[in-house]
Amino acid sequence: MENPHPTGTELRKSEIIGHLKAPSTPDKTLPQIPIEAPYTAEGQRKRLDYLASLRNASLDHLAGKKTFEHHADLQGNIENFVGMTQVPTGVIGPVAIHGSAAQGDYFIPLATSEGALVASYGRGGKATRLAGGITSICLSEGVQRSPVFRFEQIRDIGPFISWVLEHLEKFRAITAQNSRFARLEDLRTNIEGNHVILIFEFTTGDAAGQNMVTLCTEAICRYLLEHCPTKPVQWYIESNYSGDKKATALAFTHVRGKKVSAEVTLPRSVVKETLKTTPERMADYWQASTLAVIQSGAIGAQGHVANGLAALFLACGQDVACISEASIGVTRMELTSGGDLYASVTLPGLIVGTVGGGTSLPTQRECLELLGCAGQGGARVFAEVCGAVALAGEISIAAALSAGHFAQAHRQLGRK
């Protein structure tokens, strides 16, 4: 799969449109994941056999047939290793996705210990597939590192910034010398008194990229400190401005990692038969919940995006702490003129990757291979899957709350 780098943090419209294909009709003959006997070894075996036959992939580590043995493979992932924390992993699907990179039916692994979560996301995925599938598009990319420089007085900052802005191409060359995949796309400044923050924004290929941008930024700063005309008194590689592992207004209004928007229109019949409610009830509930979450002071307005994304991140070797920024976003539901339900979710802070980090560990690699996006060329696919998962979960929880089924579902599935 091609993995083009955008020429700026905003993907070109022609690039997005060029990747979009006419939505294919979901394969009606492809059954849902087998759900009988969910708490027995036989139920587990049926699901594993079914998935292995469809994807022609080995799931031996997930199945427990193989255990982790190669300790040297943990270098870069863990220190003082003593063992593995086992988190139950379920699968939902098929979820139909039409995107700029993700195309087709996906079986999606979710690792969680919260009862009812997998069932809820599975129901949302089923409803969206009956509606023809979710359109999920990666709109823009950008990973920031923001060093801060302190000067004696504010008047020293002017010559410093002028010099810095004149050397953007040099900084791009330094980036290329220090990474095969990072691209320096933008440089912005923020001044506060005698402090100046430089916001370097990179694209990072198929890696989540936090370490990559740190090393590239450090190399740039070493060159800058050696050659700039006005020397700072002090500097730090990260000012705490970039939004790394934090929910920030800056990430919400711009991008951190990958920005994805996903949408679906649910016919009235699907809402009634699969979700057991009506489009009117769901739209009314979502209006009320949006007003309430605004009053709470939350960044963004969504229901429980962190639930599905955290489970997907755990299963697929992502940096789970990045849920802090990944779960900010906006969910919208409204009645169409034809009486159906339009639903969308926009996530501007998806720090995700399919190379590096924990993506090469055995079970995590198997989960990415199950999705068909392991390794190079998979990051944008994975981001668009994240958007679809989030939307499926938002639809299901809104349906349950609007119909008065929320407590009942947790009573049945979330308790021992």
What pairs with residue 135 in β-bridges?
98, 263
Residue 170 has, within 13 A of its CA and on its CB side, a CA count of 13
Task: Say which of 61, 167, 405, 410 is annotated catalytic.
Answer: 410
| Among candidate residues 320, 321, 324, 302, the one with its CA nearest the CA of residue 311 | 320
Q: Given 156, 201, 206, 319, which residue is catalytic?
A: 319
Point out the catalytic residue in the list 60, 105, 114, 186. 114
Whether the Cβ atoms of residue 280 and residue 333 lie closer than 8 Å to each other: no
Residue 398 CA to residue 393 CA, distance in Å, equals 8
**Annotation says 366 is catalytic:** no
Whether 410 sits among the annotated catalytic residues: the reply is yes
Q: Cα separation of 308 and 118, whole Å?
A: 8
Which residues are CB-neighbours of 318 under 8 A, at least 6 positions away?
208, 312, 351, 352, 353, 357, 358, 359
Give the other-Cβ count within 10 Å of 180's Cβ: 7
The string of DSSP codes covering 243-299 is -TTS--HHHHHS-SEEEEEEEEEE-HHHHHHTSSS-HHHHHHHHHHHHHHHHHHT-S
Is 114 an active-site residue? yes
Q: Can you say how many angstroms the Cα of residue 12 is from the centroid of all Cα atoms in its chain?
A: 20
Pairwise CA distance, residues 251 & 120, whole Å: 28
- First-to-last alpha carbon distance for the chain, in angstroms, is 44
Indicate the angle between helix axes 305-315 and 379-403, nearest 10 degrees. 140
Q: What angle do CA 198, 201, 207 make, to 5 degrees?
A: 135
Phi and psi, residue 335, nearest 5°:
-75, 135
Q: In 3D, which of 330, 335, 263, 256 has the Cα closest to residue 294? A: 330
- E-strand stretches of 146-182: 148-150
Is 332 within 8 Å of 302 (Cβ atoms)? no
Mind telling me the catalytic residues? 114, 319, 410
